[in-house]
Chains A and B, each alone.
Chain A
Amino acid sequence: MHTNSLYQEVILDHNRKPRNYGKLDHANHQAVGHNPLCGDRLDITLQLENDQINDIAFQGESCAICKASASMMTAAVKGKSRLDAETLIHEFRELATGKLDTTHPHHLGRLTVFSGIRDLPTRVKCAILPWHTLHAALNSITSASTEENHDSAHAVVSSKS
């Protein structure tokens, strides 16, 4: 089998055993992300207190890239402040669309495993969907399209809090 730049063991592992999978009963922020192109759907529930993400969970129907991205994202933002989470969201979007200069300091850590996605424009949206959805949940966006001009992600997100 040839080496696979995208489907690395860490991604496959998070796909097999997703962290923070499920739905929080005590959530005070939530959002649903849709990828209208493939029908994938992702629910994010989180508990935000004093601008800190105390707990977060996700569930949904999605591909391995999206599921692993969501799993690693929840692990990365749990316990972080809203501001730190927004920084990660921004950096991850830049990474996935090939705009992040990884030689400069950033906060993504192991999330850079997704850097290969930039070569697969049709899959960028899969990796970004959880992050768009988290952004919507944090900002209590009731109904929004996260389609933004500066990247190729397509996600329709609605949230309530």
Chain B
Amino acid sequence: MSPATVSLKPEISVDFDAEKIRADFPILKLKIDGKPLVYLDNAASSQMPQQVIDRLVRYQTTQHANINRAVHYLSEVATMEYHTARCKLQQFINAREDREVIFTSGTTDSINLVMHGYGRKFIKAGDEIILTTLEHHSNIVPWQMLANEKGAKIRVVPINDKGELEVDEYEKLFNERTKFVGLIHVSNALGTINPVQRMIDFAHQHGVPVLIDGAQAAPHITIDVQALDCDFYAFSAHKLCGPTGVGILYGKAALLESMQPFKGGGDMIASVTFEETLYNTIPHKFEAGTPPIAAAIGFGAAVDYLSAIGIERIAAYELSLLNYATERLNDIPGVKIIGTAAEKTAVISFTIDGIHPHDIGTILNQDGIAVRTGHHCAQPVMQRFNVPATSRASFAFYNKKTEVDALVAGIKNVQKVFL
């Protein structure tokens, strides 16, 4: 395959000590069947540094109690630490106020919150919701459920052969019935970075609110929700070196206040009688029940960790890995990279002629190499490229060039098995 099909940006020289960073991640010392672990499934979930593990241990050993309720010491500490975590997230995305940050169980939960809280209240029969071909199923299915319930319609932004959104087509989809836009910031299947700023601005010219699914963007791109002016922004902790089970929904305060609650229960109320319930203020209105307190505090530690390294430095280093890996994979006959957008995060989806992705994944695993195989919860993307599935190598800042070399050797071994 010709390297000309991929836009390679100039190699950025990065002052970045991957070995020193790797020492923070105990799991990277693992051996799989006697072979060093080569973890290239970071787009699915990233690994956790000792600093975050230690924070979880400290919370669990010295600070744990339920929050917002009791007057005893531990409850006050836990409440304060949970609030501090919210403030760390607020700073991480530059939200105007901490009450605009709602802890959820993850990106999927965040999107469902917007569907139930905003969509079910404001979207009516005949209204149109714009989504893109690149969406993860988590930003398709909730809106389909809403469209079916309300008699609303889903409009879909197409992509080109490189896996880039056709923004002109997006703009043509708008009309007086357009009531909502759901947009993935970075494609999980292909790594495409979408021009969200331009797309948000355009939607706002038509008075349409925009939800950004930032699950794949937040670990690699500095997020400034005020600069973006997005109405909602969602992402998960476990893709940012944090724990599973927690994520956030950012929403503009006025919008959040106008919405109906998603889940009912404790903590989300101001007062309850059997005749009537008065809801609590935001963010509590959307945090029914005991939240994932430990995970949220771990999330705060994780964004502290990433911020200390610097998202921009992380992005520059990952770009150098992406360029190197793209070059090396393009050199292997029979390997085809799916998704060659000019703007990409360090994700390489690929196929090997005549070999099913699951066989690729299993044989790479025998070399200790972890990649993701399948449709990546993005079946419309697979359909667009007319493949049932791909193999996906996704890199993090703790990966190194020798691991790209291991992947290349692994792919050649796969081809040898099937020769």
Contact = CB atoms under 8 A, between A and B. Distances in A.
Nearest to B416: A1
Nearest to B418: A12
Contact of B417 (A4, A37, A38, A39): A4
A16 to B, nearest CB: 8
Interface stretch (A57-65, A77-85, A103-111, A153-161): A57-65
Contacts, number: 47
Nearest to B356: A63
A39 B375 contact: yes
B166 interface: no
B206 to A, nearest CB: 36
A123 interface: yes
Contacts of B363: 4, 7
Given A2-B366, A4-B366, A63 B359 contact: yes
Given A38-B375, A39-B375, A40-B388, A65 B358 contact: yes
B359 A7 contact: yes
A42 interface: no
Nearest to A35: B358
Nearest to B373: A38
B330 interface: no
B355 to A, nearest CB: 8
Contacts of A120: 362
A75 interface: no
A44 interface: no
Given A4-B366, A12-B418, A37 B374 contact: yes
Contacts of A123: 358, 362
A7 B417 CA distance: 8
A1 B356 contact: no
Nearest to A2: B366
B211 interface: no
A24 interface: no
Contact of A64 (B374, B382, B388, B418): B418
A126 interface: yes
A12 B417 contact: yes
Contacts of A39: 374-375, 379, 382, 388-389
B362 A1 contact: no
B359 A38 contact: no
Instruction: Specify which of A15, A61, A64 lies most central, judged by the most chain B CB atoms within 10 Å of its CB.
Output: A64
A27 interface: no
B359 A64 contact: yes
B193 to A, nearest CB: 26
A141 interface: no
Interface string B376-394: 0001001000001100000
Contacts of B91: none
A1 B375 contact: no
B356 A64 contact: yes
A38 B388 contact: yes
Interface string A93-106: 00000000000000
Nearest to A3: B366
B374 A38 contact: yes
Instruction: Specify which of B358, B366, B413, B416 lies most central, judged by the most chain A CB atoms within 10 Å of its CB.
Output: B358
Nearest to A120: B362
Given A38-B388, A64-B418, A6 B374 contact: no
Contacts of A6: 362
B411 to A, nearest CB: 13
Instruction: Specify which of B356, B363, B366 lies most central, judged by the most chain A CB atoms within 10 Å of its CB.
Output: B356
Interface in B384-419: 388-389, 413, 416-418
Interface in B329-384: 355-359, 362-363, 366, 373-375, 379, 382
Contacts of B375: 38-39
Nearest to A40: B388
Given A15-B418, A38-B358, A64-B418, 7 more contacts: A4-B363, A38-B375, A38-B388, A39-B375, A39-B382, A63-B356, A123-B358
25 contacts: A1-B413, A1-B416, A4-B363, A4-B417, A6-B362, A7-B362, A7-B363, A7-B417, A12-B418, A15-B418, A38-B389, A39-B374, A39-B379, A39-B388, A40-B388, A61-B388, A62-B356, A63-B356, A63-B358, A63-B359, A64-B355, A64-B356, A64-B418, A65-B358, A123-B362
Interface of B: 355-359, 362-363, 366, 373-375, 379, 382, 388-389, 413, 416-418
Interface of A: 1-2, 4, 6-7, 12, 15, 37-40, 61-65, 120, 123, 126
Closest 4 CB pairs of A and B: A63-B356, A63-B358, A39-B388, A64-B359
